Amino acid sequence: MRTALVLTAVLSITTTTAAEPPRAILREGDSLGGNQTVRYIIGPHTNGGAAVVARVQAGPAPFELTDHLWGSLSGEAPGVLRSAGIVGDREVHWFHDSPFASESGSLFYGALSTYLPTLDQRWGVWRDDSVIVEEGESVPGLRDRVWDQLFVRHCSSDGSALVYEGTTLQPGSGIMRDRLLISTAQPEPLLVSGRLIPGLGVAMISGGGVIIREPGFSRSGDHFSAIVLVEELGIAMVVDGAAALAHGAPMTNMGTIPAASGGVPGERWGMFAYSAIDGDGHWVQSGDTVDGPAGGEGYLAWDGDIIFRAGQPIYDGTVIAEYSDVGDLAMNDDGDVVMYWRTMVDGIERDVLIVNGRAVLQSGDQVDWNGDGKLDAATFDRFWEGDSFPYVDPNTVAVTERDAAGRIAVTFAGWADPNGPGGSLPVRTMVQVPFDTTIEGLEQDGEPGVGLGDLIVVLANYGRREMNGLPGDVNMDGTVDFADIVAILAEWGS
């Protein structure tokens, strides 16, 4: 029996400028050398800007596939970095969760391998060619427990802190007992099923309690957000291991949304979907509500306050489609937030990529297909959330930290039409979109040029604190203050 391929792409981030268009950086059908052809691209991650890592499948045919780690960590031409096969006393079969790369060039990933001396298969967490922890080993801090399944969730930018999630077994029982989220930089687990969550008074569901979606982490790993199943209350939002609070009230499934958080009378939190967190501990979270305004159940919240809803405009005036939900989101340490959602254009719903409350790419928009820095006939078609083979997380959007000039790069996995709409079947594509926070924030009043109208917007919102890019936030730091007035005056008349 052939093993399904999970190839990991590791692509260096090069500094982009505002003039550069969205570009395809890896496409279904691309050759990796030999008989390896890219088939699938899944779940890019970035760790500050050293590299973008993604899961892809490749091979000569859909059912003849091989596993690899592939890419470029230091700016050299990309190529195969690791391959399935014999590694010491193990035979690696596939990489079963999203990989991460540190700025020092190390790769962290999960893999299923066979331990050759005994021929038993084991889940494991790996750094480069070495196993850090694997199935069957004792779990630190828990008596009579051994690891079962293991997944890498984050590594700090310098690689010193690794976060992994796993389930445990009681030796000899074959029964799943616990689910843990562990950081190598912390003496105690971040989350443990069956233990009380501070601020909630109830515990994460025991017996392998589920962490919904992939947790969000700051670059260092010091802050994290998670959506978990808890006893009695159902689903809860957790920040740094304690209940996430919306104006003092824990955020739980079917809990009342405070009016101060943007809730209307009788409105309750529904399903929580995605979350992310920055280096200062500010967090964003998406989901839907119950008994909210018609068509506006889907939302994005910042620190527990609803700032965007389906059916209503975002910061740049783009109106989100009614009854639509955020598909995925990410956040860097600077507080820049990226997500994809849906908008309605001429009666047709389109997927839209949003950065700091601004629509930057929609279905039908052209992209640079061949890497020459110019827009081609190829167009972005839609986003997607993983694929049909096992052990795939749903993440499809990643964002770098700002460079010295205030520029970031957003990378996502989706579908694109190589010859434009109707010209060919869409193919799986990893796209990178440049965004310059120093330029995008200058436009405040919707009119060309920087002038009085922009200054009026800044003054009208002076003192306001919210997500990066809010009205009047010229430098996109989340606060409208004197620095934004200075930025407007510095570009006056341009």
> d(Cα 381, Cα 345) in Å, to the nearest integer?
14
Which bin fits 89, alpha (ψ -120 to 50), beta or left (φ > 0)? alpha
The position carrying tokens 């999970």 is 6
Q: What pLDDT is stored for residue 50 in this prediction?
A: 47
Q: What pLDDT is stored for residue 289 in this prediction?
A: 95
9, containing H or E segment? strand 7-11
Distance (Å) of CA 120 to CA 84, 112, 253: 17, 11, 41
Distance (Å) of CA 329 to CA 43, 197, 239, 325: 12, 25, 16, 11
Tell me the β-bridge partners of 109. Answer: 126
Start-to-end CA distance of the chain, whole Å, equals 64
Per-residue pLDDT of the chain (494 residues; tens, 9 = 90+): 223 333 334 444 343 344 689 999 888 888 888 888 888 776 776 755 546 666 676 778 777 777 777 666 765 666 677 778 899 999 988 887 667 888 777 888 888 999 899 999 999 999 989 999 999 898 887 778 888 888 888 888 888 888 888 888 888 777 777 888 889 888 888 988 888 899 998 888 876 556 767 789 998 889 999 999 888 878 999 999 999 999 999 999 999 999 999 999 999 999 999 999 999 999 999 999 999 888 778 999 999 999 999 999 999 999 999 999 998 899 999 999 999 999 988 888 899 999 999 999 999 999 999 989 999 999 999 887 544 443 344 457 889 899 899 999 998 888 999 998 877 788 888 899 999 999 999 989 888 889 999 999 999 999 999 999 999 999 999 999 999 999 999 999 88
Distance (Å) of CA 294 to CA 307, 320, 321, 351, 465: 16, 13, 12, 21, 28
CB distance 286 to 301 below 8 Å: yes
339-353: b (≥16 Cβ within 10 Å) or e: bbbbbeeeeeebbbb
Q: Is 443 helix (H, G, I), strand (E, B) or coil?
A: coil
Nearest to 383, CA basis, from 310, 433, 322, 436: 433
CB distance 237 to 257 below 8 Å: no
Q: Residue 326 contacts by C-beta under 8 Å, 6 or more apart in sequence? A: 273, 274, 286, 287, 298, 299, 300, 339, 340, 341
Dihedral sign for Cα atoms in the order 416, 44, 332, 72: negative
CB distance 494 to 448 below 8 Å: no
What the block records as the tokens of 84 is 């399935």
Q: What pLDDT is stored for residue 396 in this prediction?
A: 73
> d(Cα 92, Cα 94) in Å, to the nearest integer?
6
The position carrying tokens 């209350």 is 233
Phi, psi (rounded to 5 degrees) for 424 = -170, 170
330, containing H or E segment? strand 328-331
CB distance 225 to 277 below 8 Å: yes
166-187: b (≥16 Cβ within 10 Å) or e: bbbbeeeeeebbbbbbbbeeee
The structural domains of the chain, ordered by start, are 7-440 (2.130.10), 441-494 (1.10.1330)
Phi, psi (rounded to 5 degrees) for 485 = -65, -45
Tell me the β-bridge partners of 204. Answer: 230
> d(Cα 154, Cα 217) in Å, to the nearest integer?
7
